[in-house]
């Protein structure tokens, strides 16, 4: 048994009257979600997969803001903003809570640099806050090392973690190290919602994989059927078949 927690967020509901023709409400996955009524989350790990542009980041960000996290990333005490591209989907999303987490973090791979800057600013040179993140400025670590510092040092028991492509900066070894930590955190009652393209992370035992299909429907799929897994496997087994087709015009 990997997981001990009951999860914090049982399911999410999107106001079915949100239909408009502007982003984010115009996205097929958002229309689909509004039509579904509710989407159940796993008490342990829920992965969101789907092609680029399918709406994974939009959904994770909406979940994170509805849970009270800063839209650009960080813990619930972070209130900085260096851009205003976030959508207001979170305002229309209702989270159904089992109980509230003790801690948590929203990690956006794409704006992690700004989070690292904010941590430095809040630390004010005292080193106190930095200790919670491994003791060194995340700017003095490689991108991948700083992610692992975060997950190993800052993430803790009974936490709710919303992560957008946490594998972005990680080597395969780094992904494996992250999974070992995830397993430990799951045993300590944590819940994760993770948008990912990683066929490695998706192998977390017991995880629920929700795949955004072309057209915006959300389907629960098994590991082998998840597109990052099936496509990576097909490619790695026979790269030449893909390359021949992709570069057919070169001859």
Ligand X SMILES: Nc1ncnc2c1ncn2[C@@H]1O[C@H](COP(=O)(O)OP(=O)(O)O)[C@@H](O)[C@H]1O
Residues near Mg ion, by CB under 5 A: 56-57
| Closer Cβ to ligand X, 61 or 118, answer by number | 61
Residue 184 three-state SS: helix
- The smaller minimum CB distance to Mg ion, of residues 133 and 192, is found at 192
Q: Which residues contact 220 (CB under 8 A, 6 or more apart)?
A: 208, 209, 210, 211
Which residue from 27, 162, 185, 202 is in contact with ligand X, where contact means CB under 6 A?
Answer: 27
Name the minimum Å distance from CB 62 to Mg ion.
12
Our finding on whether 166 is near ligand X (CB under 6 A) is: no
Report d(CA 135, CA 125) in Å as an integer.
12
108: CB partners within 8 A, 6+ apart? 57, 61, 72, 73, 115, 164
- Output 49 or 200, the one with its CB closest to ligand X: 49
Which parts of 154-238 fold into alpha helices (H)?
A: 172-187, 227-237
198 binds ligand X (CB under 6 A): no
Q: Among candidates 191, 61, 193, 75, which has minimal Cα distance to 132? A: 75
Using CB under 6 A, which residues numbered 97 to 136 contact ligand X?
none
- Note whether 80 binds ligand X by CB under 6 A: no
228 in contact with ligand X (CB under 6 A): no
Among 12, 31, 49, 58, which residue sits at the site for ligand X (rule: CB under 6 A)?
58
């Amino acid at each position: 048994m990997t997981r001990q927690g009951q999860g914090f967020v049982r399911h999410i509901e999107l106001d079915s009257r949100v239909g408009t023709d502007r982003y984010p409400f115009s996205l097929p996955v958002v229309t689909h979600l509004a039509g579904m009524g509710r989407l159940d989350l796993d008490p342990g790990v829920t992965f969101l997969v789907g092609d680029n542009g399918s709406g994974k980041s939009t959904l994770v960000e909406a979940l994170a803001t509805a849970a009270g996290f800063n839209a650009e990333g960080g813990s619930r005490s972070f209130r900085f903003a260096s851009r205003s591209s976030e959508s207001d989907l979170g305002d229309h999303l209702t989270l159904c809570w089992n109980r509230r987490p003790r801690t948590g973090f929203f990690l956006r791979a794409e704006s992690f640099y700004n989070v690292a800057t904010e941590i430095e600013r809040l630390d004010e040179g005292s080193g106190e806050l930095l200790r919670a993140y491994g003791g060194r400025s995340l700017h003095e670590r490689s991108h991948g090392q700083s992610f692992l510092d975060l997950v190993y040092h800052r993430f803790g028991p009974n936490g709710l973690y919303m992560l957008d492509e946490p594998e972005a900066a990680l080597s395969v070894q780094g992904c494996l190290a992250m999974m070992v930590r995830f397993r430990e955190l799951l045993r300590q009652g944590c819940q994760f919602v993770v948008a990912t393209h990683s066929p490695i992370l998706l192998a977390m035992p017991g995880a629920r994989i929700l795949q955004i299909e072309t057209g915006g429907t959300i389907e629960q799929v098994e590991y082998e059927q998840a597109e990052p897994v099936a496509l990576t496997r097909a490619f790695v087994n026979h790269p030449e078949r893909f390359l021949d087709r992709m570069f057919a015009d070169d001859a």
